[in-house]
């Protein structure tokens, strides 16, 4: 001890620094304090020291152990939270965060330090499929493997027979052609895969409300750091692991983590633990973020899951069946060609270019016979390549990828690929009112208080209001709200945040009633809160004022719902009067008058709970209330929504508005938006209430559902019931929704459309498409794109079927009759390249036109290949077969040329027939195939590229393509013959099709 005293004599201050874990730090601090007390007591007797100073540093977030935090939360270890971290408030202090104001410093350097210590709120995803994987997948195709095998054999025999200089042409040409086909296909698929991955990242970018530096602000889920205070409400997905700070009636659905469907109650006493990936199902509150990204259980789970946006859609499944059928036909033709050509060759019925017999039994060399057999097999396989419409799935992929990219620019984010094509078949759209048909920018425009007249709201209109009523309204608005009012300084303008309804009411109270929300909260204690829900359509709060024993119930909600709870009202002087039947009817008239002006009517009510038998009630009363007043909130219709509704109606799509507002407000808005005509009144059953709809007998509901235009005072169950009823009647139903309770209807619908701004994460997760601007006009845009996708795919099907039929018939007839196919393997592969990739790209990128919205929807059971398409396919295929067979059998005499020139002319004419047929495919029914062509620059570019490449093939790649150069006359003849498909197409479209409604 004397040695230690001597050491203390040499120093004025002893500083104990603790650099270890938090628990060890506090143990050392307690030891140091105890030691100091003993030391001071000892030194005071010897007068060796005047004072001893101990400096103990406060723990900082740099000392926090991310693993300890993660383990504590995953294990829901309440004991560890209290003993190791000092409870929620103690942990907030360690993380240098304020439970009310959040992180104090929002500087980039401070946020980066937090990310360095605790990690970023991002998940490690499985590595994306690389380019080589796509190449290997393409080479695994059976037909490609057979072609390559034939090419290698042909290459070997060719080099052996003719040497390296000339022997590699046949086999090398096939290898090069296969390489081109595979390369184009792989590059296209690789690019689309990258596009889908970007879309997946975009759809994962969730916005949450975070408090930083005392200010509530929206933030990307990826920007959240440990220490942040996050605001939670019904429908939110919890963005990270954390601890409950404050709130009321907060319940979460942990089924995504635990598999249990029960909703777990979150509170500060027994269960403050909130896990990322779970969803808020009731109440509201705030949480302190303690773990992010890979330190959460959700992060570990998500890192092993790769969201597959490249799923097979219903249309792709239908096309697979079509592809299989055509493939079987192609295989049959190829097998027949193989047998016929082999028999003809070995029986000596085939001749070479000089007209000499090719096979003599016992005299023909083995190499020559094998070369001939390889050539026959290659020709048969090439027929299979052309016959199997491999371009159909590619065309669908290209169309979907292109439309998804463009739809993102048009404020629609596709979450499920199938929605793109299904939307084109939609026959009915069930839409919300608030935020979709209207701007969702609420503003108090009318106020009714006591027995007075309804008055237009301005800041002076509250000057004559009774002080008692003013005080109760300030208290009711300030305490019974999920919104916030932030004021940086005394002179600054308050920033109000929350839902549009909450913002409007708070704005009225702050600027009209002089509400100071912080002052109101400080003067009162909140005992119980009932959060707003779509069933009761009201919210309540039970409070006790400071230094008072009595409690007060405050209610706010839909006017007619709150009015039912009221037995009294405040008159103009603030006196409480009993509400008789006459007064109740007059108030109901006020509500109806507001609703007729398309105002949302909100009522405020209050009840003071006195002591009974010395006990004060701590229950939120729902009866015997006193009405304080009514406010009318105006939410104007969106610009252009009426035109959008008219567009849908003209396209044969029914619009049904489903809203929680009362019948009068709903009817007024529906007429204003064009959903309802003024003469379609309540008696015509165009407007019903939810309770009325759900009480119909099933047969009655089915009979009346088509006539309903507006459903008011609806619950989520009513919305789901309507969707089910419409689907049973054969409708293809699209539904818009933004709330958690809309999730069942969004899932049940054929296409679920959630709102990107006001929509909860639960709604977005249940939907197929997210409307980023919450605008009904964007819903119509999605409908137009859906029809465009379906129409583009039909265009390509018509184009490809024409080529398939023509190629198969020409090769089959030519091989059976002469033992030779006019189109070689390389030439057929080149046609396949044009057909499967370039044409798919050209036709898949056609943009929506107004013509699409002039047709009725295709519905659920319409055939993919219509009668109109069959008419066009048969006509053009017949034309091509006739022309090319004429050239095959009479071409030499017509043009006065040899066999090689004739085959080149056939090949050239066949390719140009496809070029001209691409124009015909642009319009399935319209005679003017050039309308709007200048808008599609890509189509024109692809046509130009195809023509240039064809010229190179014929004129410069003679050995590769097995062609000879043509003179100007022959080129003109090829193009002129192929161009006849335009007038033929025009004439064919004059033929009426029975049952064609379009």
* Residues tagged active-site: 432
Q: List the beta strands (DSSP E) in 206-363.
A: 207-212, 215-220, 229-232, 241-253, 263-265, 273-274, 279-291
Picking from 796, 811, 800, 651, the residue whose alpha carbon sits closest to that of residue 734 is 651
885: tokens are 């067979």
Query: What residues contact 418, with CB distance under 8 A and at least 6 apart?
Result: 311, 313, 314, 315, 768
Helix spans in 168-259 (H): 169-203, 255-258
345: tokens are 């060759």
CA–CA separation, 280 and 148 (whole Å): 58
- Under 8 Å between Cβ of 469 and 628: yes
Helix (H, G, I), strand (E, B) or coil at 530: strand
- Under 8 Å between Cβ of 9 and 49: yes
Q: Where is 381: in which H helix or E strand?
A: helix 366-387
825: tokens are 């393997």
- Under 8 Å between Cβ of 978 and 887: no
CA–CA separation, 825 and 961 (whole Å): 9
Helix spans in 204-294 (H): 255-258
CA–CA separation, 99 and 105 (whole Å): 14
Query: What residues contact 599, with CB distance under 8 A and at least 6 apart?
Result: 445, 446, 632, 633, 634, 665
CA–CA separation, 927 and 982 (whole Å): 10
Q: Which residue has the tokens 């965060």?
A: 97
Q: Identify the DSSP state of 742.
A: G
- Under 8 Å between Cβ of 976 and 913: no
Is the torsion defined by CA of 757, 761, 765, 766 positive or negative? negative
Phi then psi for residue 283, to 5 deg, are: 75, -165
Number of continuous H segments (helices) and E segments (strands) in the chain: 36, 32
CA–CA separation, 68 and 84 (whole Å): 9
Query: What residues contact 709, with CB distance under 8 A and at least 6 apart?
Result: 655, 656, 657, 670, 675, 676, 680, 686, 687
CA–CA separation, 971 and 909 (whole Å): 9
Q: Identify the DSSP state of 856.
A: P
**C-alpha distances out from residue 344 to 219, 368, 370, Å:** 75, 15, 15
3-state SS string for 94-119: HCCEECCCEECCCCHHHHHHHHHHHC
């Amino acid at each position: 001890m004397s040695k230690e005293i001597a050491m203390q004599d040499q120093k004025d201050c002893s500083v104990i620094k603790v650099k270890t874990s938090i628990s060890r730090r506090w143990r050392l601090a307690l030891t140091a304090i105890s030691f100091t007390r003993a030391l001071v007591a000892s030194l005071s007797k010897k007068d060796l020291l005047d004072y001893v100073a101990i400096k103990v540093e406060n723990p900082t977030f740099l000392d926090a152990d991310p693993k300890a935090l993660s383990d504590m939360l995953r294990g829901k270890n309440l004991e560890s939270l209290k003993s190791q971290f000092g409870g929620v408030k103690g942990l907030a202090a360690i993380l240098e965060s304020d439970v009310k104001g959040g992180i104090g410093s929002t500087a980039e350097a401070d946020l980066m330090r937090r990310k360095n210590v605790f990690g970023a709120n991002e998940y490690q995803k499985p590595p994306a499929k690389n380019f080589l994987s796509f190449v290997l997948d393409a080479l695994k195709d059976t037909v490609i493997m057979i072609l390559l095998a034939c090419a290698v054999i042909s290459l070997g025999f060719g080099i052996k027979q003719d040497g390296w200089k000339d022997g590699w042409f046949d086999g090398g040409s096939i290898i090069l052609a296969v390489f081109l086909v595979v390369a184009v296909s792989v590059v296209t698929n690789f690019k689309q895969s990258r596009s889908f991955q970007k879309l997946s990242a975009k759809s994962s970018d969730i916005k949450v409300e975070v408090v930083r530096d005392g200010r509530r602000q929206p933030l990307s889920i990826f920007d959240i750091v440990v220490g942040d205070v996050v605001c939670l409400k019904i429908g939110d997905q919890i963005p990270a692991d954390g601890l409950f700070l404050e709130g009321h009636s907060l319940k979460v659905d942990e089924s995504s983590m635990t598999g249990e469907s029960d909703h777990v109650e979150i509170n500060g006493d027994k269960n403050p633990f909130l896990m990322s990936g779970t969803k808020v199902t009731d109440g509201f509150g705030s949480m302190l973020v303690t773990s992010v990204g890979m330190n959460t259980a959700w992060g570990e789970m998500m890192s092993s899951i790769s969201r597959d946006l490249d799923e097979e859609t219903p249309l792709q499944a239908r096309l697979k069946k079509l592809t299989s059928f055509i493939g079987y036909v192609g295989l049959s033709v190829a097998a027949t060609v193989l047998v016929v050509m082999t028999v003809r060759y070995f029986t000596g019925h085939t001749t070479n270019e000089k007209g000499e017999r090719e096979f003599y039994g016992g005299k023909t060399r083995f190499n020559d016979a094998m070369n001939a057999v390889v050539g026959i097999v290659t020709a048969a396989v090439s027929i299979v390549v052309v016959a199997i419409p491999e371009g159909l799935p590619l065309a669908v992929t290209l169309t979907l990828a292109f439309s998804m990219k463009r739809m993102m620019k048009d404020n629609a984010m596709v979450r499920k690929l199938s929605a793109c094509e299904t939307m084109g078949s939609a026959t009915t759209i069930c839409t919300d009112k608030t935020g979709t048909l209207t701007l969702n920018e609420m503003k108090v425009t009318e106020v009714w208080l006591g027995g007075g007249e309804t008055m237009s709201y301005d800041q002076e209109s509250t000057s004559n209001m009774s002080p008692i009523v003013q005080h109760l309204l300030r208290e009711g608005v300030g305490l019974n709200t999920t919104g916030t009012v932030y004021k940086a300084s005394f002179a600054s303008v308050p920033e109000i945040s929350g839902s549009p309804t909450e913002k409007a009411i708070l704005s009225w109270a702050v600027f009209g009633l002089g509400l100071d929300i912080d002052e109101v909260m400080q003067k009162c204690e909140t005992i119980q809160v009932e959060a707003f829900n779509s069933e009761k359509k009201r919210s309540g709060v039970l409070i006790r004022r400071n230094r008072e024993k009595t409690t007060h119930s405050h209610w706010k909600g839909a006017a007619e719902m709150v009015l039912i709870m009221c037995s009294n009202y405040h008159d103009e002087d603030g006196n409480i009067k009993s509400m008789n039947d006459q007064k109740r009817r007059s108030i109901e008239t006020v509500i109806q008058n507001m609703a007729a002006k398309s105002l949302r009517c909100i009522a405020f009510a209050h009840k003071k709970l006195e002591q009974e038998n010395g006990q004060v009630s701590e229950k939120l009363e729902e009866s015997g209330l006193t009405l304080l007043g009514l406010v009318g909130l105006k939410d104007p219709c969106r610009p252009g929504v009426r035109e959008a509704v008219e567009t849908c109606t003209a396209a044969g799509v029914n619009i049904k508005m489903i809203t929680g507002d009362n019948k009068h407000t709903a009817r007024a808005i529906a007429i204003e938006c064009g959903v309802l005509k003024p003469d379609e009144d309540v008696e015509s059953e165009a407007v019903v209430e939810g309770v009325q709809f759900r009480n119909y007998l099933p047969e009655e509901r089915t009979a009346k559902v088509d006539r309903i235009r507006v459903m008011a005072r609806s619950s989520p169950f009513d919305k789901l019931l309507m969707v089910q009823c419409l689907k049973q009647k054969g409708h293809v139903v699209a539904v818009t929704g933004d709330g958690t309770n809309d999730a069942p209807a969004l899932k049940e619908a054929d296409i679920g459309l959630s709102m990107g701004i006001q929509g909860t994460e639960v709604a977005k997760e249940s939907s197929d498409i997210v409307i980023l601007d919450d605008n009904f006009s964007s819903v119509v845009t999605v409908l137009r794109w859906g029809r465009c996708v379906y129409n583009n795919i039909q265009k390509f099907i018509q184009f490809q079927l024409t080529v398939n039929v023509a190629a198969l018939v020409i090769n089959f007839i030519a091989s059976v009759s002469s033992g030779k196919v006019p189109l070689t393997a390389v030439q057929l592969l080149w046609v396949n390249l044009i057909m499967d990739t370039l044409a798919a790209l050209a036709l898949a990128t056609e943009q929506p036109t107004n013509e699409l919205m002039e047709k009725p929807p295709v519905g659920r059971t319409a055939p993919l290949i219509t009668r109109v398409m069959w008419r066009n396919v048969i006509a053009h295929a017949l034309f091509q077969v006739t022309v090319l067979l004429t050239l095959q059998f009479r071409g030499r005499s017509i043009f006065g040329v040899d066999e090689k020139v004739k085959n080149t002319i056939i090949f050239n004419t066949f390719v140009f027939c496809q070029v001209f047929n691409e124009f015909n495919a642009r319009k399935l029914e319209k005679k003017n195939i050039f309308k709007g062509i200048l808008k599609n620059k890509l189509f024109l570019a692809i046509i130009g590229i195809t023509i240039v490449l064809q010229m190179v093939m014929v004129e410069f790649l003679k050995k590769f393509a097995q062609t000879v150069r043509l003179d100007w006359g022959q080129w003109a003849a090829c193009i002129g013959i192929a161009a006849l498909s335009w007038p033929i197409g025009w004439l064919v479209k004059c033929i009426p099709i029975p049952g064609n409604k379009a």
